[in-house]
Chains A and B, each alone.
Chain A
């Protein structure tokens, strides 16, 4: 039989089946071998019988040997065909797995890390807007250092990074929140402890502590506030970075401290808010992602992101969006 094979196929050795056809041919090959019939195998593969026959013939031509013995009632594997069956099955299984992976990858959401202060409603609006544009999105709330770490270790695909206000795509103006209404815009120097307090009504800013949220425990906010406090003659203990946001808010509600936050945050906490005018401090945010595609997709939802942050789009530049290597 070996000599006969050589004779039959010696002239067509240069013919190569293209990759996709090879997989389809192998699919037909495994189906025919399982069912022992060209007709049944073709039916199982959903193709006409002549196509199945042509594919098998093509394979045999490519391999340079016969896969089946055509017997009267059906077909049976030649010893060569038996040897090839296992790798044909592997190829078919791998191709199936690949198609499933492609489906999954296509549906995998863009994971976006956002500040913990974003409200569920604003995030829901962002999610719905992004989904309606055909992209799946998965939101994770995390404090600033976690967002940076998770992005650089690629546990997430995109993050709203906290950056100096001048470099941000979005800006969130900060002010002071208090349990009672404040008389007007706040200067940090008003917190300076007086040697002898003047009695009177209304909140006395003198001697009050200013508490910072975890979101503001970053150098460009925390250290600027601390330096301004030093220069204004405040006690070092008057600027407090708490271990958790509830602890900070508890001190605001319980001890009457001030909280550095945005007007939106103050509203959500049920506190009165006044802008901080000396120094003026704002949070800056930029969108960073592991891929430029994600940046440009999410960048289209700038207004929704601004709402989530409780801020506005910075007027200056668009240079805040970037792709990390």
Chain B
């Protein structure tokens, strides 16, 4: 290993640590001002699960800001059948409710509320959000379906005692970036993104060049209010920093994209996309390993 620089050594160690945690991950960190970027592996498209709520929120907030939509417009939310573990917000409602568009966007981003997000997709179709991204010049993200589809995997049709079979099926993908028999994990059918593309999106939200700065600011504050803080947040949150992020979890996928704003003004985007080969539902040690890896990579940019 002589001649190997520190950065390569750290990346090597991080990858070894991730592998021992049963994770195949791509982590990208980027200094949003100097644009210096480090990643753990080559870029490949992955199903992004709830991370897709960021471009959806961006599209909605842009239309509200431009006056195409009214943020105070009440939307009727019908009680959904997503009364499964891990669901939040209106997904667990038992009665119809009237909620303003602005607040649905908040529920979607801060609470990762699937029902609220699908209500937003009923107003702005996936194809329109896709063309917004194309206009922004953000590549690698494809939005194809509603979030309800994420709750129709084999996991939902198996009894709890057999749930590990769904995770077993999920991990038996031929290779990262390829097709999958579970369509929600098939890169050609699901909502997908690449770590580089998602980092470009964060770049645009934090250092807006084409989107309205007011819209960007609103979205940043929503991401700062993310209530799901068990994955990367323990390694990034402190009184001297702001950690704003969005997670995505589906079967064996564990993602989080976010930006850490340091008190000294440095902002570093962190995009962690991972898939696990361990057929367990709760994997606290893998979450911790992902957080530690992202932090170690981030430290190379400090």
Judging by beta carbons under 8 Å apart, are B283 and A195 in contact? no
Binding site secondary structure of chain A: loop
Within residues 218 to 241 of chain A, which ones have a CB less than 8 A from any CB in chain B? Answer: 227, 230-231, 233-237
Does B234 count as interface, using CB distance less than 8 angstroms? yes
Judging by beta carbons under 8 Å apart, are A235 and B279 in contact? no
Judging by beta carbons under 8 Å apart, are B20 and A195 in contact? no
Q: How far is the CA of A94 from the CA of B285 in the complex (A)?
A: 74
Does B286 count as interface, using CB distance less than 8 angstroms? yes
Residues of B within 8 A of A236 (CB): 20-22, 277-278
Does B280 count as interface, using CB distance less than 8 angstroms? yes
Does B240 count as interface, using CB distance less than 8 angstroms? no
The size class of the interface chain B forms with chain A is 10 to 19
Does B296 count as interface, using CB distance less than 8 angstroms? no
* Interface 0/1 of B278-302, CB less than 8 Å to A: 1110111110110000000000000
Most buried by A among B280, B284, B285, B286: B285
Q: How far is the CA of A231 from the CA of B281 in the complex (A)?
A: 8
Take A195-B234, A227-B164, A230-B164 as given contacts and tell me if A235 and B289 are in contact as well, using a CB distance cutoff of 8 Å. Answer: yes
Other-chain residue from B164, B234, B282, B285 in contact with A235 (beta carbon distance below 8 A) = B285
Within residues 156 to 194 of chain A, which ones have a CB less than 8 A from any CB in chain B? Answer: 192-193
Residues of A within 8 A of B288 (CB): 193, 195
Q: How far is the CA of A236 from the CA of B277 in the complex (A)?
A: 8
Q: How far is the CA of A227 from the CA of B283 in the complex (A)?
A: 13
* Nearest CB of A to B231, in Å: 12
Within residues 142 to 194 of chain B, which ones have a CB less than 8 A from any CB in chain A? Answer: 164
Judging by beta carbons under 8 Å apart, are A233 and B283 in contact? yes
- Nearest A residue to B292 via CB reads A195
Residues of A within 8 A of B164 (CB): 227, 230
Most buried by B among A192, A193, A230, A235: A235
Judging by beta carbons under 8 Å apart, are A231 and B21 in contact? no
Take A192-B285, A195-B234, A235-B286 as given contacts and tell me if A230 and B21 are in contact as well, using a CB distance cutoff of 8 Å. Answer: no
* Interface 0/1 of B242-279, CB less than 8 Å to A: 00000000000000000000000000000000000111
- Nearest A residue to B19 via CB reads A237
Within residues 192 to 206 of chain A, which ones have a CB less than 8 A from any CB in chain B? Answer: 192-193, 195
Residues of A within 8 A of B282 (CB): 233
Take A193-B285, A227-B164, A230-B164 as given contacts and tell me if A237 and B279 are in contact as well, using a CB distance cutoff of 8 Å. Answer: no
Judging by beta carbons under 8 Å apart, are A230 and B279 in contact? yes
Q: How far is the CA of A143 from the CA of B288 in the complex (A)?
A: 38
- Nearest B residue to A191 via CB reads B285
Q: How far is the CA of A269 from the CA of B279 in the complex (A)?
A: 34
Residues of B within 8 A of A237 (CB): 19-22
Judging by beta carbons under 8 Å apart, are B285 and A234 in contact? yes
- Nearest A residue to B286 via CB reads A235
* Nearest CB of B to A238, in Å: 8
* Nearest CB of A to B96, in Å: 39
* Nearest CB of B to A32, in Å: 82
Q: How far is the CA of A195 from the CA of B186 in the complex (A)?
A: 33
- Nearest B residue to A193 via CB reads B285
Residues of B within 8 A of A231 (CB): 280
* Nearest CB of A to B191, in Å: 28
- Nearest B residue to A207 via CB reads B285
Residues of A within 8 A of B286 (CB): 235
Residues of A within 8 A of B284 (CB): 192, 195, 233
Residues of A within 8 A of B289 (CB): 235
Residues of B within 8 A of A227 (CB): 164
Residues of B within 8 A of A192 (CB): 284-285
Which 9 interchain pairs have the tightest Cβ spacing? A237-B20, A230-B280, A236-B22, A236-B278, A193-B285, A235-B285, A233-B284, A235-B21, A195-B288
A residues adjacent to B (C-beta < 8 A): 192-193, 195, 227, 230-231, 233-237
B residues adjacent to A (C-beta < 8 A): 19-22, 164, 234, 277-280, 282-286, 288-289
30 contacts between A and B (CB under 8 A): A192-B284, A192-B285, A193-B285, A193-B288, A195-B234, A195-B284, A195-B288, A227-B164, A230-B164, A230-B279, A230-B280, A231-B280, A233-B282, A233-B284, A233-B285, A234-B285, A235-B20, A235-B21, A235-B22, A235-B285, A235-B289, A236-B20, A236-B21, A236-B22, A236-B277, A236-B278, A237-B19, A237-B20, A237-B21, A237-B22
Q: Given A193-B288, A235-B20, 11 other A-B contacts at CB below 8 A?
A: A192-B284, A195-B234, A230-B164, A230-B278, A230-B279, A231-B280, A233-B285, A235-B278, A235-B285, A235-B289, A237-B21
